[in-house]
Amino acid sequence: TIGILGGGQLGRMMTLSGTAMGYRFITLDPTDNSPCGQVARQIVAGYDDQKAARQLAEECDVITYEFENVDADVAALLENEAYVPQGSKLLYTTQHRLREKRAIEAAGVPVAPYREITSAEDMSAAIEALGVPCVLKTVTGGYDGKGQRVIRDTETALTAYEELAGLGTELVLEQFVSFECEISVIAARNPQGEIRTFPPAENVHVNNILHTSVVPARVSSELQLEAQQLAAKIAESMGAVGLLAVEMFVTRDGQLYVNELAPRPHNSGHYTMEACSTSQFEQHVRAICGLPLADTCLLSPVVMVNVLGEHIEAVIDRFAKKDADADELGVVPKLHLYGKADAKTGRKMGHINLLCHDVQHALDWIGKTNIWRNEYK
């Protein structure tokens, strides 16, 4: 039995994959009937509920998590009372941007130049060193672009500092990377030290939320290989177990800078579900259960497009009818829905993997549906 801290879509897809492999799953999540709770047994309790965490520890042979902001005390309790192969150190590092950057640098992998900011005085020296534009970020708690401000001149710097310093966490100032594109690589490592990486995905974000992942990424094959090697190097150096998603910027002159890590399955790895010989979810289950890692080769070009609250109705209509555009373009759309009832704007409700002969055909399909027209304004 595998226990999952968190009951969102990542836990749901992990459960669906792992169930096919013969494992049983229990999820701990505060909201009843969570996406994962619909396909696994669920303990309904808060993430800081020590009694519930203890129950999960008692009932499970292996424990994993599907989000990063796991309460440190609960993580420590679980590590003491159960088998948590990913450990709490990886979480401790990736929960904090500065610790994360130092760990990436320690692996010998480049990050965008940055400065730690602990006071208003630090800001002017850091801006002088890094130049504008630059990006001020909170070191903890930020996701999907929350807790960050782009600074274009020294005047906006102070207001940005005051706003973010008010959130009560440390800050980091990063040089703005004028990137050609963003890519990500999912690496997997098992406790025996075996490492495998998936082909890089080229990611487009809209309003700081992932919109599409295009695979193969439209960068040179040398860069793809280098990105995979960097991700493997980080996983190795950190002694990661399970998946490690590595997000990178690609500059015009072909330099790679790592931006962020996530020690879990990642939205930009959803394409693997149909397009690779092994999905990221199966690979994660294999890694945490100490099985040999499986082949990750790409079986077909693919574009993954996210279905948010504002898209869901049109998407369901579209999939209820015969799709002449898909037939004509030679695109095979595979819909995955997460079982969420409340379709709020910006909420991730599902995704579509568009298998294709050429990624441009899949992008044409997205355009023809008109469902994502606001993304291309």
Determine, following the binding rule CB under 6 A, whether residue 112 of this chain makes contact with ligand AMP. Answer: yes
DSSP 314-341: HHHHHHHS--HHHHHHT-EEEEEE---S
| 145 annotated ligand binder | yes
Least distance from C-beta 150 to ligand AMP, angstroms? 8
Least distance from C-beta 134 to ligand AMP, angstroms? 7
If one counts every other C-beta atom within 10 angstroms of the C-beta of residue 292, the result is 10
If one counts every other C-beta atom within 10 angstroms of the C-beta of residue 48, the result is 13
Query: In the complex with ligand AMP, which residue's Cβ is closer, 90 or 177?
Result: 177
Residue 116 structure tokens: 């730690």
Determine, following the binding rule CB under 6 A, whether residue 23 of this chain makes contact with ligand AMP. Answer: no
If one counts every other C-beta atom within 10 angstroms of the C-beta of residue 1, the result is 14
Q: Which of residues 69-98 bind ligand AMP (CB under 6 A)?
A: none
Q: Which amino acid is at 215?
A: V
Residue owning tokens 């990661």: 240
Least distance from C-beta 129 to ligand AMP, angstroms? 14
Choices 7-15, 54-62, 173-181, 361-369 (CB under 6 A): range interacting with ligand AMP: 173-181
Choices 101-109, 174-182, 233-241, 338-346 (CB under 6 A): range interacting with ligand AMP: 174-182
Which is it for strands 179-189 and 201-206: parallel, antiparallel or unpaired? Answer: antiparallel
Choices 80-88, 101-109, 169-177, 359-367 (CB under 6 A): range interacting with ligand AMP: 169-177
Q: Which of residues 179-208 bind ligand AMP (CB under 6 A)?
A: 182, 205, 208
Angle between helical axes of 97-106 and 221-238 (0-180°, round to 10): 110
Determine, following the binding rule CB under 6 A, whether residue 375 of this chain makes contact with ligand AMP. Answer: no
Considering only 10, 127, 177, 186, the residue that binds ligand AMP (CB under 6 A) is 177
Helix (H, G, I), strand (E, B) or coil at 77: helix
Considering only 142, 290, 309, 339, the residue that binds ligand AMP (CB under 6 A) is 142
Residue window 208-237: x/- pattern of binding to ligand AMP, with contact defined by CB under 6 A = x-----------------------------
| 182 annotated ligand binder | yes
Q: Which amino acid is at 111?
A: V
Determine, following the binding rule CB under 6 A, whether residue 174 of this chain makes contact with ligand AMP. Answer: yes
| 205 annotated ligand binder | yes
Residue window 243-262: x/- pattern of binding to ligand AMP, with contact defined by CB under 6 A = ----------------xx--
Choices 35-43, 53-61, 80-88, 175-183 (CB under 6 A): range interacting with ligand AMP: 175-183
Query: In the complex with ligand AMP, which residue's Cβ is closer, 187 or 289?
Result: 187
Give the helix ranges, DSSP H, for the chain.
9-20, 50-59, 72-81, 89-94, 97-106, 120-130, 154-165, 221-238, 272-275, 280-288, 312-320, 324-329, 359-369
Residue 305: CA count within 13 A, CB half-sphere: 22
Which of 183, 7, 2, 28 is CA-nearest to residue 86? 2
Determine, following the binding rule CB under 6 A, whether residue 131 of this chain makes contact with ligand AMP. Answer: no
The phi and psi torsions of 83 (rounded to 5 degrees) equal -100, 110
The phi and psi torsions of 25 (rounded to 5 degrees) equal -125, 140
How many residues bind to ligand AMP according to rule CB under 6 A?
12
The residues facing 242 across adjacent strands are 189
The phi and psi torsions of 114 (rounded to 5 degrees) equal -150, 165
Considering only 46, 131, 145, 193, the residue that binds ligand AMP (CB under 6 A) is 145
In the complex, which residues of this chain contact ligand AMP (CB under 6 A)? 112, 135, 142, 145, 174, 176-177, 182, 205, 208, 259-260
Residue ranges for the known binding site are 97, 137, 142-148, 174-177, 182, 205, 259-260
Residue ranges for the known binding site for ATP are 97, 137, 142-148, 174-177, 182, 205, 259-260
